[in-house]
């Protein structure tokens, strides 16, 4: 049992917590990451207290100068974080007291660690969103550049991982541009909803001091102060929404990573990752392993796990604050770090991968990928109902399969034996190039559509 009670709340206690209690209670090991946000909101709070006449201008000046000194120490890595002060808030306040003396004790007037941490955390998540948005847009630029380069490169499109219809590689990459655009939108929406300032809510009920909460909110870049003090200190839906958006982003990255893993195999051979994003084997000298893609794929599980962890922490908590909520930060910190790393890795791989255009085009013609084009030709030219055309095409595919040849390698007579109305014009639609060029519907895979989509994504008309 510790013999010394905490200077934070020790007036109520005769002696301090046990060593085990200190270990489970302390959070400075991870919430030290909030130092910049904590000092920023303390400065805004101090300025407001002085404006409202709650503390003297002299004390405010001393506090603001001391906070700047603490910030400099932390940034210069000369600050000593101490577990005896539990968290970032009390570590900063304790050092402030060492630097400026009694005025430091006035800083915590009209606030609680409950509204303080909620404010810090919102500021941190907001900054994390801004960083991720920058990375998402940068990765979109990489994808757009490669899509433009390969707007006319033909590859097989798959459903059920079976050859379906020919598409262009540019079109395939543009699918991820669209996904990332929605990911960015989710983060932007989350940012908008979290941008209300909890500071001034105090522990849970507000305060009797004449605060100007709108001033503090404005100083910290929030749209407005929170409207309900209980809600302000007790909910972490902004963190959950961040993790939910992050989980969807991680899933999108995992899907692309999976495709890179497949495409780099000898069986596909569609792309080759550079040495910068490949590793070797300790026993097999020929190996080039796409480890960066595989690890990016794995990271989705960590981000989704972080979302689940915080959902479970929050699910049974009555209003207002409970200490369970101290476990809200580590999942968010880890998810943000993971997402930033994955976006950097995925962007690097896509930017410098080598595309095997010939291999893609050869694969695009395999597996009777133009069968749908044949069915569509029967509908357009012979006015055949699609279901009948589907049946006729299936019989022609079966014949080609039995002969071990492609649809375009069948003779006209062989096709006419199945459907007499077929003419030599049918061969115009049986090549993969003609197939992709014909897909001109809005959002389709035709090269002209891909280039139009790229232009629109870049902000063109």
Enzyme catalytic residues: 160, 281
Q: Which one, of 182, 197, 170, lies nearest residue 133 by Cα?
A: 182
Q: How far apart are CA 447 and CA 30, in angstroms?
A: 50
Q: Are strands 162-168 and 154-159 parallel, antiparallel or unpaired?
A: antiparallel
Separation in Å, CA 351 to CA 123, 279, 362, 445: 32, 18, 24, 22
The residues, any chain, with a CB within 8 Å of residue 392's CB and separated by 6 or more, are 375, 378, 384, 418, 419
User: What is the per-residue DSSP string for 240-304?
Assistant: HHHHHHHHHHHHHHHHHHHHHHHHTSTTT--EE--GGG-B--SS-TT--B-HHHHHHHHHHHHHH
Give the whole-angstrom CA distance, residue 127 versus residue 332. 12
**Helix runs in 101-168, H state only:** 113-149
- Identify any residues that bridge with 197 across adjacent strands, giving them in sequence order: 225
C-beta neighbour count of 198 within 10 angstroms:
30
User: Residue 433: in which H helix or E strand, if any?
Assistant: helix 432-438
Report residue 401 as tokens: 């399969």
């Amino acid at each position: 049992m510790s013999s010394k009670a905490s200077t934070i709340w020790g007036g109520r206690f005769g002696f301090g917590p046990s060593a085990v209690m200190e270990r489970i209670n302390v959070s400075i090991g991870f919430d030290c990451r909030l130092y910049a946000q904590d000092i920023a909101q303390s400065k805004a709070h101090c300025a407001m207290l002085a404006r409202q006449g709650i503390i003297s201008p002299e004390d405010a000046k001393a506090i603001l100068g001391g906070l700047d000194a603490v910030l400099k120490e932390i940034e210069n890595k000369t600050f000593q974080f101490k577990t005896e002060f539990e968290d970032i808030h009390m570590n900063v306040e304790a050092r402030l007291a060492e630097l400026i003396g009694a005025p430091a004790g006035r800083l915590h007037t009209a606030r609680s660690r409950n509204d303080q941490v909620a404010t810090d955390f919102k500021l941190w998540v907001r900054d994390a969103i801004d960083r991720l948005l920058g990375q998402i847009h940068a990765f979109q630029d990489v994808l757009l550049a490669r899509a433009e380069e390969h707007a006319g490169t033909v590859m097989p499109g798959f459903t059920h991982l079976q050859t379906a219809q020919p598409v262009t590689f540019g079109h395939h990459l543009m699918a991820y541009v669209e996904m990332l655009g929605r990911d960015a939108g989710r983060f932007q929406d989350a940012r908008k909803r979290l941008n209300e300032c909890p500071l001034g809510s105090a522990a849970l009920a507000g305060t009797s001091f004449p605060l100007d909460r709108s001033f503090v909110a404005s100083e910290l870049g929030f749209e407005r102060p929170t409207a309900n003090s209980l809600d302000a200190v007790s909910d972490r839906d902004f963190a959950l929404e961040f993790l939910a958006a992050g989980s969807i982003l991680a899933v999108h990255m995992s899907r692309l990573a999976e495709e890179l893993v497949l495409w780099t195999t000898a069986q596909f051979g569609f792309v080759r990752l550079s040495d910068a994003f490949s590793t070797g084997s300790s026993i097999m000298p020929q190996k080039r392993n796409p480890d960066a893609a595989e690890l990016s794929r794995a990271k989705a599980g960590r981000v989704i796990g972080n979302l689940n962890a915080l959902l479970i922490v929050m699910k049974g908590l009555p209003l207002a604050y409970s200490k369970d909520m101290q476990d809200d930060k580590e999942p968010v910190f880890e998810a943000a770090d993971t997402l930033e790393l994955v976006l950097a890795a995925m962007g690097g791989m896509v930017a410098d991968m080598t595309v095997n255009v010939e291999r893609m085009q050869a694969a695009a013609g395999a597996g009777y990928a133009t069968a749908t084009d044949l069915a569509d030709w029967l509908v357009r030219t012979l006015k055949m109902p699609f279901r009948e055309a589907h049946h006729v095409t299936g019989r022609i595919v079966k014949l080609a399969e039995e002969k071990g040849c492609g649809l375009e390698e069948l003779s006209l007579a062989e096709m006419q034996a199945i459907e007499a109305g077929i003419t030599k014009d049918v061969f115009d639609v049986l090549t993969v190039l003609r197939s992709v060029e014909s897909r001109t519907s809005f959002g389709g895979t035709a090269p002209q559509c891909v280039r139009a989509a790229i232009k629109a994504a870049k902000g063109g008309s």
